[in-house]
Structure 1
Amino acid sequence: MRSIVRIVAIVAAAGAVTCLYTLVIPTPNHTTVALTLLLVPLVAGTSGLFHGILASVVCAFCFNFFFLPPVATLTIRDPENWMAFVVFLITALTANHLSSAAMRRAEESERNREEVSRLYQVSRAIIQASDPETAAGLLARQIKEAFGFSLCRIAVPDGTGSWTVVADTPGDAHRLEPPVPDRALNEISHAGHAVQTGDGAGGVMTCAPLRSGPVVAGVLICDSGKAEPATVDALAGLSALALERARFLREIGKTEALKQSDQLKSAILASVSHDLRTPLTSIMAAVDNLLSTDVEWNEDSKHEFYSIIKEEVERLSRLVQNLLEMARIEAGECRPVKDWGSVPDMISDVLARCVDSLVNHQVTLKIQENMPAVRWDERLMSQVLVCVLENAAKYSPAGTEIALGADLSVDTLRISVHDQGPGILAEEVPRIFDRFYRGKSGAKDGTGTGMGLAIARGIMAAHGGEIHVASEPGSGATFLMTMPVESRTNGDG
């Protein structure tokens, strides 16, 4: 339909020029007429070679029939007019050829520009493809969207001569049969360039090997007709680069994970071995003294040995409890069992449990009066407060004050602990809640596993809350725990 419209337009344009000179200008100049008629094939050439040639022939006919004597005939008697006719026809055809060539070059440049733009879009996907499990799927979708393919898949060999699709445009990890036979894919993988092959159902696919050095990691499969084989080769090169990059990132991640695991094991062994050795040494010494037959111990001495054993066993029990709690947090098994409870009562119980740790400190309380009951896991929150208070006691000089505050506002519970210790260096603040990390200033008695604050953070996170620290060296540290809670006034009661 478009071709017919263009033919009609060419005839109409030639007729319009002819009418202009025959009806409006009685005695036109032949050169002027020829130059005007040449505009028609020049413009028509932009629509294609056929339309340009047609326009040249039509305009040559009009020039001969209406303007070269004898007028209204196709006969040319004067040799000069023959020359004018031939020159006109050759000029028209040449102009048409040049116009068509310029148009083709412009279209080719535009296609190249669009292709480069699409390749750039795909290259951006390389940066995003950091996970080997999803990289192939991401690339397949990007290639399909950028180049308008109806099908784009990545197939990999399984080591037995068969091929499996690991990336298909509808999803990330579809395990489908390739649309190209295994034998053809094996040949393509050794070809070194994109080739077109049948899909076994009458269709044609363009396939290119994904080469990473001498190794073929897979084959890119696209439906033919949307891109040249050279373009598919370029896409295969980008895809191979992206998959190789994702593989390297995975290997780096594994290496880093192993390194961190080794560091963690070393930290656990160093911390736990020290904290196990100290109480075990005290227990063994007390037991040896009690079992010794060389000395007759009085009741006071025996009671002191029993007290040492009891204290060290409790210390070991807390260490084991912390290790178990840390393991639950790391495994995501720390799930609060919420029930109604009193914040002031919980604080009183915690202070009683920490009486030995806080014996050399004065604890001041600032607790909101008439605080309503809240719904929480009191056992876990008690453990959080114990960890924070014991940390404050360890890092504060004897005789200093520890301030403990609590208030409830708009269903948000806030508990704060402020000590008068040496404070925390700015560079330590981001790591203070890390597992097995102990501040550079060190506890005054040299003890501590570095698990307490990490456990506190894990429990707060399980409650949907947070724990933060604010500190300046020499001014102590303030730990603030916040969490959303239901209060008795708006709860179920």
Structure 2
Amino acid sequence: MRFSRKQIIGYGAALVGVALVTAVYKLLITGVNATTVALSFLLVVLFIASAYGLGSAILASILGMLCFNFFFIPPTGTFTVHDSQNWVALFAFLVTAVIASQLSAAARRRARDAERRREEVWKLYQFSRAIIATPDSETVMASIARQVVDLFDTEYCAIFVSRDGGCQRLAVAHKMQQAFEPPQSIIDEVFRTGRLQQAPSADGTQPVSYAALKVGVKPIGVMALISTILESETIEAIAGLVALALERARFLQEVSRTEALRQSDELKSALLASVSHDLRTPLTSMRAAVDNLLQNDVEWDKDALHEFHLIISEDIHRLTRLVENLLEMARIEAGELRLSKQWEVVADLVDDVLTRCADAIRNRTVRVDIDDAFPLVKVDSRSIAEALTNLVENAGKYSPPGSEILIRGRIRDDQLILSVTDQGPGLTPDEKDRIFDKFYRGQPRGQRRSAGTGMGLAIARGIIEAHGGRIWVESTPGHGATFTMAVPVEWRVAG
């Protein structure tokens, strides 16, 4: 028979306690009556019973009775008990030991139960907080299953939800070395009845609890749990929180879907409004120019014919840019923007952009500040040129005729930084926050709204972010704006 450490300590405490009382009254305090000595031994028995349990208390009571009989009851020095009252004392010691140990054990058991319940309540609170903080996706259930295993020290947790007429497993987490698959028949039965069930695992070594996930009285799933320490009430409380998390995720997904549909409708309306205007305007002027050219009763001079041809050419260019922007935005939103990086001369890239933007920056002075010794950079020239084109067109659109547009390029911290500064009306703080949103068009103070779809700056942002860079604007109302894009690049000295 092997004794635990606590039992050994208890037996030792019984020996020491009885020996100490005997020594005190036999050697230090003499002449004390037998009743005082008996009560002292009784206190030792009570202490041992409350601290170390029944076995140690019985040992203390027997030792106390023997020492009381041998040292303090006449005739001393013998174990002979002449007086029947001494047998009563022995019986009192034993009864006291049993009752005190049982009461102490019950008190400790209640204390442990209270502490365990307090810990479970605290864990349930932490679990509920974790549920509230989780985002709305199906990966949430995997996270919740893992939290149940870790937080409540369970061996296994699986979450099943109602789909396509049956319960399908949505998430699982475990500490088990061997795979475990709950029987589908039990899952379906618990889902149908809504009642907690317990069944042995496949190898029969561990109990598996099956709790219905219910919102109100309606089951929406089932949770399977393997734990030897959780009570039924706690398991049902966990299942209730998991059900709330599942319903919350579904609700948030529905809200997100509704919001996405609403935003989609708004974007469609904005796109139709912008595109219809930008289609109607050039088509109207082109039709007028073509109708004039088709008039047989009018003989137009060379200047008029040139003007008609110029109108048609400019409007075709506007329509081409509109279609290019729509296609570019579609590629960005679909994640189909493919980058082909080559070594490029930045000055040549800027010259190409200015050629493309000739109509937009007509009657403006453009100054390019790029060092002749500017290094070669490895970029996707088509997309970078597209982003810069949108910035330059935006500057031409919002800056007054005769004003200057400054294009500046530099390399800093392995980043290509290109900026476009205009002398337009600038932006308010609210506009700075929205200027890169799709279909947003700034409103110059004291002027009519500028033509355009509001896609140019959004396209520029999408392109730059696809390069791993960033784009921003600095502006003060009435003092123009500077749009800057920074892209991480490889670079080398030209030559």
Q: Report what 1:103 is aligned to.
A: 108
- List per-residue Cα deviations over 1:122-142 (Å, max 9, x = no partner): 223212332341122111111
Counterpart CA distance in 2 for 1:46 and 1:225 is 27
Q: Report what 1:455 is aligned to.
A: 459
Deviates more, 1:321-330 or 1:34-43: 34-43
2:49 to 40, 44, 49: 44
The alpha-carbon deviation at position 189 of structure 1 amounts to 3.1
Instruction: Indicate conservation of the 8 Å contact 1:46/1:52, yes or no.
Output: no
The alpha-carbon deviation at position 296 of structure 1 amounts to 3.4
- Paired residues for 1:270-349 under 5 Å: 270-349=273-352
- Paired residues for 1:146-157 under 5 Å: 146-157=151-162
Q: Report what 1:389 is aligned to.
A: 392
For the structure 1 residues 183 and 383, does the alpha-carbon distance in structure 2 shift closer, same or farther, using more than 3 Å as the test? closer
- List per-residue Cα deviations over 1:121-171 (Å, max 9, x = no partner): 32232123323411221111111112221122223345555x433221159
TM-score by length of 1: 0.89
For the structure 1 residues 191 and 13, does the alpha-carbon distance in structure 2 shift closer, same or farther, using more than 3 Å as the test? farther
Gaps of 5+ in 2: none
Instruction: Indicate conservation of the 8 Å contact 2:58/2:94, yes or no.
Output: no
The alpha-carbon deviation at position 226 of structure 1 amounts to 1.9
Q: Report what 2:489 is aligned to.
A: 485
The alpha-carbon deviation at position 191 of structure 1 amounts to 4.8
1:232 to 216, 232, 235: 235
- Paired residues for 1:65-80 under 5 Å: 65-71=70-76, 76-78=81-83
- Paired residues for 1:139-288 under 5 Å: 139-160=144-165, 163-170=167-174, 178-179=181-182, 181-203=183-205, 204-288=207-291
For the structure 1 residues 241 and 87, does the alpha-carbon distance in structure 2 shift closer, same or farther, using more than 3 Å as the test? same
Q: How many residues align?
A: 485
- List per-residue Cα deviations over 1:56-107 (Å, max 9, x = no partner): 4553454345433444666544465455555544444443344333322322
Counterpart CA distance in 1 for 2:62 and 2:246 is 58
The alpha-carbon deviation at position 14 of structure 1 amounts to 5.2
Counterpart CA distance in 2 for 1:220 and 1:52 is 46
Counterpart CA distance in 2 for 1:366 and 1:146 is 61
Instruction: Indicate conservation of the 8 Å contact 1:195/1:229, yes or no.
Output: no
The alpha-carbon deviation at position 426 of structure 1 amounts to 0.2
Deviates more, 1:343-352 or 1:418-427: 343-352
Counterpart CA distance in 1 for 2:224 and 2:57 is 39
The alpha-carbon deviation at position 210 of structure 1 amounts to 0.9
Instruction: Indicate conservation of the 8 Å contact 2:61/2:90, yes or no.
Output: no
The alpha-carbon deviation at position 6 of structure 1 amounts to 4.8
Instruction: Indicate conservation of the 8 Å contact 1:417/1:478, yes or no.
Output: yes
Counterpart CA distance in 2 for 1:132 and 1:374 is 41
The alpha-carbon deviation at position 302 of structure 1 amounts to 2.9
Instruction: Indicate conservation of the 8 Å contact 2:350/2:385, yes or no.
Output: yes
The alpha-carbon deviation at position 371 of structure 1 amounts to 1.4
The alpha-carbon deviation at position 265 of structure 1 amounts to 0.9
SS at match of 1:255: helix
For the structure 1 residues 278 and 208, does the alpha-carbon distance in structure 2 shift closer, same or farther, using more than 3 Å as the test? same
Instruction: Indicate conservation of the 8 Å contact 1:155/1:178, yes or no.
Output: no
The alpha-carbon deviation at position 10 of structure 1 amounts to 5.2
Instruction: Indicate conservation of the 8 Å contact 1:337/1:377, yes or no.
Output: yes
Deviates more, 1:440-449 or 1:195-204: 440-449
> Aligned AA for 1:108?
D
For the structure 1 residues 221 and 447, does the alpha-carbon distance in structure 2 shift closer, same or farther, using more than 3 Å as the test? same
Deviates more, 1:127-136 or 1:24-33: 24-33
For the structure 1 residues 111 and 30, does the alpha-carbon distance in structure 2 shift closer, same or farther, using more than 3 Å as the test? farther
For the structure 1 residues 471 and 269, does the alpha-carbon distance in structure 2 shift closer, same or farther, using more than 3 Å as the test? same
- List per-residue Cα deviations over 1:418-465 (Å, max 9, x = no partner): 111111110121211111111133775731111111111122222222
Counterpart CA distance in 2 for 1:267 and 1:473 is 26
- List per-residue Cα deviations over 1:190-245 (Å, max 9, x = no partner): 55453322334324212211111222122221224121111111111111111111
Is 1:418 the counterpart of 2:451? The answer is no
For the structure 1 residues 54 and 105, does the alpha-carbon distance in structure 2 shift closer, same or farther, using more than 3 Å as the test? farther
SS at match of 1:169: strand
- List per-residue Cα deviations over 1:10-63 (Å, max 9, x = no partner): 552355236525753454443443333222442333334454455445534543
Counterpart CA distance in 1 for 2:149 and 2:491 is 55
Q: Report what 1:428 is aligned to.
A: 431
Instruction: Indicate conservation of the 8 Å contact 2:213/2:221, yes or no.
Output: yes
Deviates more, 1:471-480 or 1:362-371: 362-371
For the structure 1 residues 232 and 62, does the alpha-carbon distance in structure 2 shift closer, same or farther, using more than 3 Å as the test? farther
Counterpart CA distance in 1 for 2:60 and 2:297 is 128
Percent of residue pairs identical: 48
For the structure 1 residues 158 and 478, does the alpha-carbon distance in structure 2 shift closer, same or farther, using more than 3 Å as the test? closer
Provide the aligned C-alpha RMSD in A: 2.8
Instruction: Indicate conservation of the 8 Å contact 2:22/2:67, yes or no.
Output: no
Instruction: Indicate conservation of the 8 Å contact 2:142/2:171, yes or no.
Output: yes
SS at match of 2:429: coil
2:118 to 113, 117, 125: 113
TM-score by length of 2: 0.89
> Aligned AA for 2:384?
M
For the structure 1 residues 62 and 192, does the alpha-carbon distance in structure 2 shift closer, same or farther, using more than 3 Å as the test? farther
* Dislocated runs of 4+, deviation >6 Å: none
For the structure 1 residues 444 and 380, does the alpha-carbon distance in structure 2 shift closer, same or farther, using more than 3 Å as the test? farther
Q: Report what 1:129 is aligned to.
A: 134
